[in-house]
Every structure is written in structure tokens, then in C-alpha cells.
Amino acid sequence: MTAVHAASPLLEVRDLSVHHGQLQALRNVSLQLPAGATHAMIGANGAGKSTLLRTIAGLHQPSTGSVLLDGEDVTRLRPERRVRAGIALVPEGRRLFPSLTLEENLLVGSSSARKGPWTTERIYELFGWMRDRRGQRAAQLSGGEQQAVAIGRALAANPRVLLLDELSLGLAPVVVRRIYGLLPELAAAGVTILLVEQDVSQALAVAAEVHCLLEGRITLAGPPAALTAEQIEAAYFGVAASGNDTSPGPVPASPSGPAPVDQLPGAST
Ligand code: ATP
């Protein structure tokens, strides 16, 4: 176990199962995020990553299980109450209001904000280019700029936990690197981050701990440095590797350290 497990969790997911109609998208998922941690959830298309983040944010109700923030059960709180409690989501595909200006989109984020350091001014300090373009409509911004505004909008709510869904989707590698380059700064500012990502290299590079989802189950958990490429590949694709199957439960961490993940999405970027 690493030091990150020693602290009591700021965010805890307990035995969470979620259905979309007949389809079970999450199966008994449990997760603990200590304050200040950056965790990554990797997994293929349809593995259940977005469902997990959206359930934590209150956009889906679980069939069983619970979500706790700092020990408080928030499972039944409506999404806006969760924002006030300190959980903010940057949704897949950004979901900005295209006809509103950049600044108006940030103000939407602050409308149900907790008290905290992330004023519009502070967001403009983090993203130097935004101030001069604050009057521009969101629709006129590039994909990378829109992603930055979506992060800014979530920060405007002064989150304790920031949920980031597929930050790299549809963006050029150079833009992805720039956006990921901001995450250590957010972590240093005290924001606890849970990101989901198909770009495995990117996730491994920034996260203290990685979880892999496969068909709604956690198939792997551990710090990137303790996981081998074979373990990650097996957990990601569901192929048996050296006697491990993909049944629930963490694959034991290997002492052999990191290995190239050249077979996995994002390896070429
Ligand atoms: P992707 O990277 O493609 O977004 P994901 O890992 O985020 O994948 P989810 O979007 O959580 O996966 O989807 C998990 C499963 O639930 C998939 O089979 C998906 O088709 C299904 N699903 C997701 N949202 C809904 C919904 N609103 N209604 C019905 N089925 C859904």
C-alpha cells in the first residue's frame, strides 16, 4: 500500500451498481480518493467510466451502493446540491453553452458555487489567454479552448473534487499535453481529481493511482509505477495474462516497475 491510502478518503464510492434500463453499466464498484490525490480511471469504450463520474455527480442514481464526500453520504443529493457540497464535473464533450460568451460560461459555473479561491480573476490567471477573449462566444473557440473553459467553469464552483471526463477527446496531442500540464497546478491548489481517460499514457503520466474498468467492473488498481504493461493490457482488454483472469478485484501490483504500454490507446501521442 502506498501513502495515498493512509489518509481518510475525501471521496468514497462504496459497492456502486448502476443500471441504464436493462443494461448494468457498473457492478459493485468501490473506490477511495484521499484529499489532494489525482486518480485516473481507464477503460475501453462502454466500460462504464462516464457512468461512474456521472453517478458521483448525481446525474444517475445507483441501483445499490453509495457515494460519500468527506464521510457524508451524498448518494441521494441532487446534482446542484452536490456541486455546493464540492463535487464538480467536466463532462465528456465539454457541454458549454455555445451562444454564451466565455465569461458567461464561467459565471454559469459559479452560480451554485461554494465559497473558495476560484474567482473569475483566478481562473483568468490560470488560463492567461482567457481574459482578452472573455467576450467571445464559446462556439467561436477551438476545441482545446472550449475544454479549458469547461475546466474553468467547473473550477468556478470551487470544487473539492473535480471529475474530468475524457479531457483528451477530439483534441490534438499538443493541446492535450497543455491541458494535462495544468493538472499538477490544480492538485497543488488542493483540488482532488478523478479523471477518466481512454488515453492510457496520459492517465498513467498524471495519476498517483490508476483504476481500470472493464464491463462495469474494476479489474485493476494501483500506482502506475507498480503496474506492468501486461497487467494493464489484461485489465483493459479483458484478456487473461499469466494466469490472471478479469474477475473483480485488483490485479496484484508487480515489483517489476512500469513497462511500455505501446499496445494501448494513446501510446502513440
Ligand atoms: P465511452 O468512453 O464510450 O464514453 P464509458 O466507459 O464512459 O465509454 P459509459 O458511457 O459509462 O462508458 O457507458 C457504459 C454502458 O452504458 C455502455 O454500454 C453504454 O452504451 C451504456 N449507457 C451509457 N449511458 C446510457 C444511457 N443514458 N442510457 C442507456 N445506456 C447507456
The pTM score is 0.86
Look at residues 118, 115, 204, 114 and name the one whose alpha carbon lies nearest to residue 168.
204
Pocket of ligand 1 (CB under 6 A): 20-21, 23, 25, 43, 45-51, 92, 198
Q: 44 C-alpha to center of ligand 1: Å?
A: 11
- State whether residue 168 is helix, strand or coil: coil
How far is the C-alpha of 29 from the C-alpha of 17, rounded, in Å?
Answer: 7
pLDDT digits (tens, 9 = 90+) for 19-42: 999 999 999 999 999 999 999 999
Q: 208 C-alpha to center of ligand 1: Å?
A: 26
Q: pLDDT-derived band of residue 6, with 50, 70 and 90 as boundaries?
A: low
How far is the C-alpha of 188 from the C-alpha of 37, rounded, in Å?
Answer: 10
**Mean pLDDT across 219-227:** 93
Q: Please provide the average confidence, as pLDDT, over all residues in the chain.
A: 85
pLDDT digits (tens, 9 = 90+) for 78-90: 999 999 999 999 9
Superfamily designation of domain 1-86+160-269: P-loop containing nucleotide triphosphate hydrolases (3.40.50.300)
Q: Which residues of the chain does CATH 3.40.50.300 include?
A: 1-86+160-269
Does 108 have pLDDT greater than 70? yes
Higher pLDDT, 1 or 198: 198
- The β-bridge partners of 192 are 161
